[in-house]
């Protein structure tokens, strides 16, 4: 895994300089601590920071073709590079490295822009075609690896992270209040928005071509579902046999590496599937890592121990305390470069640090299985709500909701008038593609009540749920309801938050590459064909995946209900009712007023409520974390223009936390 950066002049001007490129790529040293590479042209500059995974000796980038007319820097892995290399050599292409990167330049020579269709991998690519004077930027199908860009002053700047762009003095810095509203609704900005006004995101599954001073963006791949369910007569045994073979091959490909590969072990079904497949169907030594909590509500250590014993794996367990979350949170925001509404990325950053300390650079993780195979409670919740809508006066139909969220201390399914009110939200939008998500988004949007009057006045257009429609395909209304729900989840929570703030960014903070076998595009395509009843059988989520794993994982885990990974939120930032020093500073009336985003009086009331431990529901906790994270973004990237990580050992006053002040 690596970092990329570059500049291209869209009109005549001074060529990009070494100093400019060095400033950009050094800002993401954590993504590639093993070396740097550069390429210069009279109007283009490319830079690369390398994390050596494959071809440790000969894989330095940029990589080029035979006559050096095509140059590429890329962040990611091409898992099927060995098969592609054999194919390309038969077609007459000559290789000078053993790197997976080199197949990219030869595929481009062979197929032009359709080269991306041949890649099985996770990637952000910058390719320069000198003959055609054309730059091609490409991002992987699921959005695993990030790619940001800014067009300003007759130039296009691009990089793996925003901090690379902000290292250049030409890039303006300002939080986009409309984008902040999107985070406080959908948990993420909607592409191409980032949290910053000047910065854009290349969406997953997209290409950008820069030629003759013009940029053009197009989609080359997307999650697609059949309008009519097919293969209804195919037996469960046939489906499971096909899925098992596909998952084994996906895991096999993603274990390819010239360095040892580990795996995260959460105690849930998804990571259990991957570790079991590694153990039973590959020769890779099984090395696992897990996170646990002192709070029983969040801790899954017992299930993790069951699987460690079952698989007899060498294992590292990291215990995360609330104080650990509070101390590390500023560093997390330095890497997420965005506001977030949960603290969950923080323990995962600490876990990736343990992976690095153990001498590993690569881990497999089960992210994506819930979106692909229908694992989330939101899918079951929507199924019940649709059932309820057919008899809205029924007293017993909404009672089925009580079977959901058993892991929550303060569940919205506890019963009574509140449950009825909460889950009836959006019933009038039953036929909207985003029907399933309305209760969640309505809860998150309560953060917007903390906006200041000035911020409200500055927002050109308030964000509503219908804003999601601009990223939805025209044919989505023809799909089954569950498939609509999956598509929206994949294009909001998954790509915008789980694979970003909770995935790539906190792993790469410690120079760790995460790999995601469930997001192999062949697996996604298989699951798209799978009848909905085989994803959620009654209220049994991920039914087909569970059937496939019979005899391969403990029954206690195979039959376990989904418990999503969570971490303590607002309580992590107080000790004996007193806020941590940087929290007190950022929530002070003076600092809140200076930023201008929030009303200091309502923020102060929220602070007091959290300090007393009375923030019990999702809305208050998300508001606290959302406000704190956005204030950290403002402090690091806007106010102080500094991105050093917070160092707790140096903290002795408001001016002492590096990266916050």
Q: What is the pLDDT of residues 363-380, one digit of tens each?
A: 999 999 999 999 999 999
Q: 480: buried, middle or exposed (CB in 10 Å: 19+, 13-18, 0-12)?
A: middle
509 and 577 fall within a common domain: no
CA 547 to mean position of chain CA atoms: 28
Domain co-membership, 32 together with 157: yes
Residues 135 and 205 occupy one common structural domain: yes
Paired tokens of 45 = 């500059």
Tell me: pLDDT of 43 over 60.
yes
CA dihedral 384, 387, 389, 390 (to 10 degrees): -170
Rounded distance between C-alpha atoms, residue 544 and residue 549, angstroms: 9
Within a domain: residue 393? yes
Same domain for 253 and 201: no
- For position 392, what pLDDT does the model report? 74
Point out the domain boundary residue: 566, 599, 622.
566
Q: Are residues 389 and 482 in the same domain?
A: yes
Q: Which class for 324: exposed (0-12), middle (13-18), buried (19 or more C-beta within 10 A)?
A: buried
| Higher-pLDDT residue of 553, 652 | 553
Residue 653 predicted with pLDDT over 60: no
Domain finish residue from 546, 566, 586: 566
The verdict on whether omega for the bond into residue 192 sits within 30 degrees of 0, i.e. cis, is yes
Lowest model confidence (mean pLDDT) among 111-115, 276-280, 409-413, 598-602: 409-413
Question: Per-residue pLDDT averaged across 415-439, rounded?
Answer: 78
428 vs 440 pLDDT, higher one? 440
Q: Which residue carries 């892995």 as its tokens?
A: 77
Of 505, 540, 566, the domain-final residue: 566
Q: Measured between alpha carbons, how far is residue 622 from residues 234, 459, 550, 626 in Å?
A: 44, 21, 38, 6
In a domain, 451, yes or no: no
- CATH number, residue 388: 3.40.50.620
pLDDT digits (tens, 9 = 90+) for 296-347: 889 999 999 999 999 999 999 999 999 999 999 999 999 999 999 999 999 9
pLDDT band at 143 (very low <50, low <70, confident <90, very high): very high
Residue 659 lies in a domain: no
Query: What average pLDDT does range 195-211 have in this prediction?
Result: 98
Dihedral pair phi/psi, residue 358, rounded to 5°: -80, 0
Give the three-state DSSP class for 151: strand
Q: Are 501 and 338 in contact (CB under 8 A)?
A: yes
- Cβ contacts of residue 635 below 8 Å, gap of 6+? 586, 660, 661
Q: Residue 247's pLDDT band (boundaries 50, 70, 90)?
A: very high
Mean pLDDT across the chain: 91
Mean pLDDT calculated for residue range 255-276: 94
User: Does residue 118 sit in the same domain as residue 239?
Assistant: no
Active site residues: 2
Alpha helix segments (H runs only) across 320-462: 322-336, 345-357, 369-373, 377-389, 416-423, 438-444, 453-458
For 139, 164, 350, 412, 604, the CA distances from 25, given in Å and listed in that order, are: 19, 6, 24, 46, 40
13: number of Cβ within 10 Å: 11
Query: What element of type H or E holds 36?
Result: strand 36-40
Confidence of residue 645 (pLDDT cuts 50, 70, 90): very low
Question: Does residue 656 lie within any of the structural domains?
Answer: no
pLDDT over threshold 50, residue 643:
no
Question: For the chain, how many structural domains are there in total?
Answer: 3
Strand ranges (E), 251-361: 261-264, 287-293, 314-320
Using 50, 70 and 90 to split pLDDT, how confident is the model at 655?
Answer: very low
d(CA 615, CA 579): 14
Classify residue 158 by its DSSP letter: E
Four-residue CA torsion sign, 31, 36, 39, 45: positive
Phi, then psi, of 416 in degrees rounded to 5: 85, -170
Assess whether the previous peptide bond of 368 is cis (omega < 30° from 0). no
The number of angstroms, rounded, from the C-alpha of 72 to the middle of its chain's C-alpha atoms is 24
DSSP string, 589-618: HHHHHHH-SB-HHHHHHHHHHHHTT---SH
Q: Looking at the structure, do residues 133 and 246 belong to the same domain, yes or no?
A: no
Residue 617 confidence (pLDDT) above 90: no
One domain for residues 279 and 385: yes
Write down the residue that tokens 């899918």 correspond to: 379
- Domain carrying residue 605: 570-650
Q: d(Cα 583, Cα 604) in Å, to the nearest integer? A: 12
Write the burial class of residue 223 (CB in 10 Å: 0-12 exposed, 13-18 middle, 19+ buried): buried
Smallest Cα–Cα separation from 516: which of 223, 245, 273? Answer: 273
Domain at 40, CATH number: 3.60.20.10
| Residues 213/221, Cβ–Cβ less than 8 Å | no
* Contact by Cβ (8 Å): 319, 284: no
One domain, residues 238 and 138: no
Query: Same domain for 579 and 561?
Result: no
Which residues, at least 6 apart from 607, have a Cβ–Cβ distance to it below 8 Å? 579, 587, 624
pTM of the model: 0.94
Backbone angles phi, psi at 619, to 5 degrees: -60, -50
pLDDT at 494: 98
Q: pLDDT band at 658, cuts 50/70/90? A: very low
State the DSSP string of 434-445: TGGGHHHHHHHG
655, part of any domain: no
Identify the helix (H) or strand (E) that includes residue 71: strand 70-78
> Taking 70 as the threshold, does the pLDDT of residue 648 lie above it?
no
Q: Where is average pLDDT lowest: 6-15, 150-159, 488-497, 639-648?
A: 639-648
CA distance linking residue 487 with residue 470, whole number of Å:
13
Cα 21 to Cα 6: distance, rounded to the nearest angstrom:
7
Residue 192 has pLDDT above 80, yes or no: yes
Is 593 domain-assigned? yes
Partners of residue 541 on adjacent β-strands:
none
Q: What pLDDT shows up at residue 647?
A: 37
Residue 456 lies in a domain: no
Residues 432 and 334 in one domain: yes
Residue 48: DSSP 8-state = E
SS3 581: helix
Is the pLDDT at 34 greater than 90? The verdict is no
Report the b/e string of 300-309 with b at 16+ CB within 10 A: bbebbbbbbe
Residue 575 to residue 117: CA distance in whole angstroms: 52
The pLDDT of residue 588 is 97
- Judgement on whether residues 380 and 500 belong to the same structural domain of the protein: yes
Interval 43-58 mean pLDDT: 84
Least confident span in 182-191, 254-263, 426-435: 426-435
Alpha-helix runs per DSSP H in 493-553:
505-508, 521-529, 543-548
Kindly report which listed range (11-25, 302-316, 408-422, 617-631) carries the lowest average pLDDT score: 408-422
Cα gap 548→558, rounded to integer Å: 10
Instruction: Give the tens place of pLDDT for each residue, 559-605.
Output: 888 788 999 999 999 999 999 999 999 999 999 999 999 999 999 99
The whole-number average pLDDT for the span 118-124 is 98
In a domain, 453, yes or no: no
* Angle value at C-alpha 391, between 385 and 393, nearest 5 degrees: 100
Strand partners, 6: 46, 158
Q: Is the pLDDT reported for residue 212 higher than 90?
A: yes
Beta bridge partners of 575: 578
């Amino acid at each position: 895994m690596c970092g990329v950066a570059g500049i291209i002049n869209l009109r005549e001007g001074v060529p990009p300089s070494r100093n400019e490129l060095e400033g950009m790529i050094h800002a993401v040293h954590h993504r590639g601590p093993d070396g740097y590479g550069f390429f210069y042209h009279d109007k283009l500059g490319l830079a690369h920071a390398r994390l050596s995974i494959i071809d440790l000796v000969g894989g330095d980038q940029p990589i080029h073709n035979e006559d050096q007319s095509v140059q590429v820097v890329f962040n990611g892995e091409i898992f099927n590079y060995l098969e592609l290399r054999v194919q390309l050599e038969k077609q007459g292409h000559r290789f000078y490295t053993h790197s997976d990167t080199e197949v990219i330049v030869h595929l481009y020579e062979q197929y032009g822009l359709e080269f991306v269709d041949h890649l099985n991998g996770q990637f952000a690519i910058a390719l320069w075609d000198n003959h055609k004077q054309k730059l091609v930027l490409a991002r992987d199908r699921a959005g695993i690896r990030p790619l940001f860009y800014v067009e300003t002053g007759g130039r296009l700047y691009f990089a793996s992270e925003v901090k690379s762009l902000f290292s250049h003095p030409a890039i303006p810095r300002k939080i986009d209040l409309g984008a902040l509203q999107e985070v406080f609704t959908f948990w993420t900005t909607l592409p191409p928005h980032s949290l910053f006004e000047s910065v854009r995101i290349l969406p997953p599954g997209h290409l950008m071509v820069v030629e003759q001073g013009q940029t053009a963006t197009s989609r080359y791949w997307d999650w697609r579902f059949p309008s009519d369910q097919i293969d209804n007569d195919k037996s469960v045994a046939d489906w499971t046999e096909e899925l098992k073979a596909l998952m084994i091959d996906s895991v096999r490909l993603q274990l390819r590496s010239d360095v040892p590969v580990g795996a995260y072990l959460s105690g849930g079904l998804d990571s259990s599937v991957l570790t079991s497949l590694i153990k039973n169907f590959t020769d890779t030594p099984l090395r696992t890592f897990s996170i646990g909590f002192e709070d029983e509500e969040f801790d899954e250590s017992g299930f993790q121990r069951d699987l460690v014993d079952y698989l007899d794996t060498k294992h590292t367990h990291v215990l995360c305390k609330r104080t650990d979350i509070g101390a590390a949170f500023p560093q997390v925001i330095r890497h997420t470069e965005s506001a977030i509404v949960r603290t969950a990325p923080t323990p995962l950053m600490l876990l990736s640090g343990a992976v690095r300390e153990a001498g590993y650079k690569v881990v497999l993780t089960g992210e994506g299985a819930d979106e692909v195979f229908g694992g989330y409670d939101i899918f079951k919740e929507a199924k019940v709500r649709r059932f309820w809508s057919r008899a809205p006066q029924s007293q017993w139909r909404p009672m089925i909701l009580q079977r959901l969220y058993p892991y929550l201390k303060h569940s919205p399914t506890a019963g009574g008038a509140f449950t009825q009110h909460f889950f009836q939200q959006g019933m009038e939008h039953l036929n909207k593609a985003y029907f399933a998500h309305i209760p969640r988004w309505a809860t998150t949007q309560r953060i917007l009540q903390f906006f200041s009057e000035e911020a409200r006045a500055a927002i050109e257009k308030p964000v509503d749920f219908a804003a999601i429609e601009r990223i939805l395909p025209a044919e989505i209304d023809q799909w089954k309801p569950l498939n609509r729900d999956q598509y929206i989840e994949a294009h909001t929570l998954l790509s915008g938050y789980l694979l970003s703030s909770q995935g790539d960014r906190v792993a790469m903070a410690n120079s760790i590459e995460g790999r995601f076998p469930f997001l192999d595009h062949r697996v996604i395509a298989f699951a798209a064909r799978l009848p909905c009843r085989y994803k959620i059988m009654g209220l049994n989520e991920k039914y087909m995946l569970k059937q496939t794993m019979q005899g391969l994982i403990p029954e206690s885990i195979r039959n376990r209900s989904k418990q999503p990974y969570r971490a303590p939120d607002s309580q992590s930032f107080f000790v004996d009712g007193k806020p941590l020093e940087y929290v007190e500073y950022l929530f002070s009336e003076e600092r809140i007023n200076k930023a201008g985003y929030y009303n200091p009086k309502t923020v102060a009331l929220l602070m007091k409520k959290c300090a007393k431990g009375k923030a019990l529901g999702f809305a208050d906790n998300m508001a606290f974390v959302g406000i704190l994270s956005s204030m950290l973004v403002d402090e690091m990237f806007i106010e102080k223009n500094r991105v050093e990580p917070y160092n707790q050992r140096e903290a002795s006053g408001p001016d002492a936390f590096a990266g916050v002040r």
